[in-house]
Amino acid sequence: MFHFDLPNTQVQRLAVKLIPAAEKLVMQTAHPWVFSKNIGKINKPGKAGDIAILFRQKSNDVYGVGLYDPESPIQIKMLHYYSGKTIDKTFFSEKIDEAFALRKSLLATNTNSYRLLFGENDGFPGFIADVYANVMVVKLYSAIWFPYLKDILEVLIEVSGCETVVLRLSRNLQTHDHFGLQDGMVLYGTLENEEVEFVEHGVLFTANVIKGHKTGYFLDHRENRRRVGVLSKNKTVLDVFSYAGGFSVHALAGGAKEVTSVDISKQALELATSNAALNGYVDNHLTLAGDAFLILEQLIEEGRTYGVVVIDPPSFAKSQKEVSTAKHKYAQLARLGAKLVATKGILVLASCSSRVVAEDFFEINETALKASGRQFVMQDQTYHDSDHPITFKEGAYLKCGYYKFS
């Protein structure tokens, strides 16, 4: 039983014609976003969640169906392409089954935390569903989903077997009242502790599902964390921008001699320390709180080096105008990292800025590392884990390079 009366609103159907260039883009690429400037005609005013049916300019054939979002520059979020479609519980159920099938190989490992719905990439624009053990956290970024929430949640609960559902709302949704729903509400089941314990490739972590960033944890780096754990055996490890200690704890579990977590947030480092302790690592986990750039300079001055250095900063480019500054910062971090890697050590450089594309990021690293004068080989380039499939260009954001130094 849901604890609240979930919205039961009637939606209307809108007949939409796009400008020719936008029509061509949707038809040829199945792109999930239609911007307001690309809408040529709409037959009546719409509200959030109304069903937008796209008709061809000339033939009037239906070639797509989406949800209307009057509050967003992306005014139509696409759900279906090339024909008409009834948008109902059966439609959502089929999409969720497809998404769950993609996660089955991950769930065959010793892991009970995963992203079940990854927004546009799984056909649910602005809708995230993350599972931590038996707790599901649903984060909504658009009001289009409120009319369909009950149907979708019923299917998600059935498919995942979760016993609790927590609702998280993006900042823009928190500023208005939406049917009395609020950020951090437990919609279904009970939540005894907002810190939910879960397993990631045999390593224990906690996610604060009520107050934590996003849904409580960052699941996208899971495979890179596992890999760093394998690389860390008998090494000293530096984890920069460590947040909750994902890389740090995997390194400790992988047999690292000592791990140092660096973050500007003392609260994040406390979380990293408790995650390490959860796995029995207390004595060989150190923390440094402060500006990462200044701390790295200080460690270089002290002559410190590490067998594995991981640098995984937050997004440096939240808008297009920040891209050049972001590129400069990535180059700076690569240069600093090169000075801190021991002989035969490994430097792991990551980026989650979608506006800095992978090709540019790897080129920045290569240039900066060559300028360091040290010999290195690029061992690998990795992207999102399997529960973060990418189905359109703008959906890609995570990239990670592994550099082995002589």
Structure confidence at residue 7 (pLDDT) = 84
Do 380 and 239 lie in a common domain? yes
> Does residue 379 belong to any structural domain of this protein?
yes
Selection from 381, 234, 403 nearest residue 307 by Cα:
234
Helices and strands (H and E) in the chain: how many? 10, 20
Q: Which tokens hold the place of 101? A: 């099938």
> Does residue 8 belong to any structural domain of this protein?
no
Do 186 and 266 lie in a common domain? no
> Does residue 192 belong to any structural domain of this protein?
yes
What is the distance between the alpha carbons of residues 224 and 222, in angstroms, rounded to a whole number?
A: 6
Structure confidence at residue 2 (pLDDT) = 82
Expressed as residue numbers, the domain containing 34 is 13-81
Amino acid at 71: E
> Does residue 215 belong to any structural domain of this protein?
no
399-405 vs 341-351, strand pairing mode: antiparallel
Structure confidence at residue 44 (pLDDT) = 94
Structure confidence at residue 96 (pLDDT) = 98
> Does residue 296 belong to any structural domain of this protein?
yes
Three-class DSSP category at 230: helix
What is the distance between the alpha carbons of residues 390 and 368, in angstroms, rounded to a whole number?
A: 28
Q: CATH number, domain at 47?
A: 2.30.130.10
Structure confidence at residue 154 (pLDDT) = 96
Do 232 and 314 lie in a common domain? yes
Do 180 and 52 lie in a common domain? no
Do 75 and 97 lie in a common domain? no
> pTM of the full predicted structure?
0.93
> Does residue 344 belong to any structural domain of this protein?
yes
Selection from 113, 140, 301 nearest residue 223 by Cα:
113
Q: Which tokens hold the place of 352? A: 């989650």
Q: What's the total number of domains in the chain?
A: 3
Q: CATH number, domain at 167?
A: 3.30.750.80
Structure confidence at residue 237 (pLDDT) = 98
Please give the full DSSP string across 249-294, using - where no structure is assigned: HHHHHTT-SEEEEEES-HHHHHHHHHHHHHTT--TTEEEEES-HHH
DSSP H or E run through 135: strand 135-140
* Inter-residue contact 335 to 371 (CB < 8 Å): yes
Structure confidence at residue 15 (pLDDT) = 97
pLDDT by 10s per residue, the chain, length 406? 787 788 888 999 999 999 999 999 999 999 999 999 999 999 999 999 999 999 999 999 999 999 999 999 999 999 999 999 999 999 999 999 999 999 999 999 999 999 999 999 999 999 999 999 999 999 999 999 999 999 999 999 999 999 999 999 999 999 988 998 999 999 999 999 999 999 999 999 999 999 988 999 999 999 999 999 999 999 999 999 999 999 999 999 999 999 999 999 999 999 999 999 999 999 999 999 999 999 999 999 999 999 999 999 999 988 899 999 999 999 999 999 999 999 999 999 999 999 999 999 999 999 999 999 999 999 999 999 999 999 988 899 999 999 999 9
> Does residue 334 belong to any structural domain of this protein?
yes
> Does residue 190 belong to any structural domain of this protein?
yes
Q: Is 335 left (phi over 0), alpha (psi -120 to 50) or beta?
A: alpha
